[in-house]
Amino acid sequence: MNVWIAIGVTAVGCYVVKLTGLLVPAGFLEKPLVRRLAALLPVALLAALTAQQTFADGRSPVLDARAAGLAAAAVALLLRAPFLLVVAAAVVVTAGVRAMAG
């Protein structure tokens, strides 16, 4: 049930945000500071999420095969690999390290 609540709240919230942009009069959100903040919010969220989903298990910090996978993804990104290849690199390396570690 909790999952459905989360899905519902997210769906409504994300839709309202999209619609707001289309309906709100221009100039309302066009202030430089507001736009700057809107550009930086995803940076903060994505960075925190990346770190948490790589270096934590639930609420405790861990260092496991995922770290190697993320490093592989980072290398792929530096080499300007396409999106799917970046994700594939992370998955394959993580699985490989896990298999080797037994």
Partner 1 sequence: MTSAGSGLSLLQTCALSLLVFTGASQFALVGALAAGGSPFTAAAGAFFLGVRNAFYGLRLSQLLALPRAVRPLAAQGVIDETTAVALAQPTRRSARIGFTVTGLTLYVLWNLTTLLGAVGARAIGDTDAWGLDAAGPAVFLALLAPMLKTTTERAVAGAAVVLGLGLLPVLPAGVPVLVAALAAPAVLWAEGRRRGAGPVARAADDVPHGQGEDR
Residues in 12-31 that interact with partner 1 by CB under 8 A? 13-15, 17-24, 26, 29-30
Q: How far is the CB of 24 from partner 1 (least distance, A)?
A: 7
Report the site for partner 1 in 71-100 (rule: CB under 8 A): 73-74, 77, 83-84, 86-87, 89-96, 98
Q: Is residue 63 part of the contact set for partner 1 (CB under 8 A)?
A: no
Which letter does DSSP use for residue 80 in this model? T
The distance of closest approach from Cβ of residue 55 to partner 1 in the complex, given in angstroms and rounded to an integer, is 6
Kindly state the tokens that stand for 83. Answer: 């999106």
Tell me, by CB under 8 A, how many residues bind partner 1: 71
86, 77 in Cβ contact below 8 A? yes
Q: Name the phi and psi angles at 60, rounded to 5.
A: -110, 140
Q: Which of 22, 17, 8 is nearest to 38 (CA)?
A: 17
Distance separating alpha carbons of residues 80 and 6, to the nearest angstrom: 35
State the greatest distance between any 2 C-alpha atoms of the chain, in Å, as a whole number: 59
| Shortest spacing between CB 96 and partner 1, in angstroms | 7
Q: Please report, as residue ranges, which positions from 29 to 58 form the binding site for partner 1 (by CB under 8 A).
A: 29-30, 32-33, 35-56, 58
